């Protein structure tokens, strides 16, 4: 009895894994849109930090006193910049890998690609509005 049950479960698993699973493009687009929006926020943060760093550097050049404190602030900003850069690169790699996987396995024709792109645009807009 137990053996038959195990064989039944095994056959059920094998048959279900062999089905042609169509991806939910809307869910995949939503997932990628979230990552895209996080990446854009990181980019904006990096650019704002770069502006602050340039201002500090200009201030150091103009003033001779308090340069040590400004220099220490620049060192801390540089550390933050590296963290943001690493996070941005990781998000970019994640997006690239997901898109390559989708393009290779699911977005094999123009119709599917257009459908996915439309979903992605909608999801990105939705995330930006929130």
pLDDT, tens only, 2-48: 455 445 454 444 544 444 556 788 899 999 999 999 999 999 999 99
Question: pTM of this prediction?
Answer: 0.72
Residue that is written with structure tokens 């801390």 in the block:
76
For residues 99-115, average pLDDT: 92
Say how many Å lie between the first and final Cα of the chain, rounded: 55
Distance (Å, whole) CA 24 – CA 97: 18
**Collapsing DSSP states into helix, strand and coil, what is residue 15?**
helix
Q: Assess whether pLDDT exceeds 50 at residue 53.
A: yes
DSSP string, 79-107: HHHHHHHHHHHHHHHHHHHHHHHHHHHT-
pLDDT for residue 1: 47
- Structure tokens of 19? 């089905």
């Amino acid at each position: 009895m137990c053996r038959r049950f195990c064989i039944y479960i095994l056959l059920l698993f094998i048959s279900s894994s062999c089905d042609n699973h169509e991806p939910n493009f809307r869910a995949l687009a939503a997932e990628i849109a979230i990552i895209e929006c996080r990446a854009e926020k990181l980019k904006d943060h990096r650019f704002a930090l770069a502006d602050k760093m340039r201002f500090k550097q200009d201030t150091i050049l103009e003033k001779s006193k308090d340069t040590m404190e400004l220099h220490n602030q620049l060192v801390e900003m540089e550390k933050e910049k590296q963290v943001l850069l690493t996070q941005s690169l990781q998000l970019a790699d994640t997006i690239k890998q997901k898109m390559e996987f989708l393009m290779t396995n699911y977005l094999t024709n123009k119709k599917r690609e257009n459908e996915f792109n439309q979903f992605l645009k909608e999801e990105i807009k939705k995330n930006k509005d929130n």
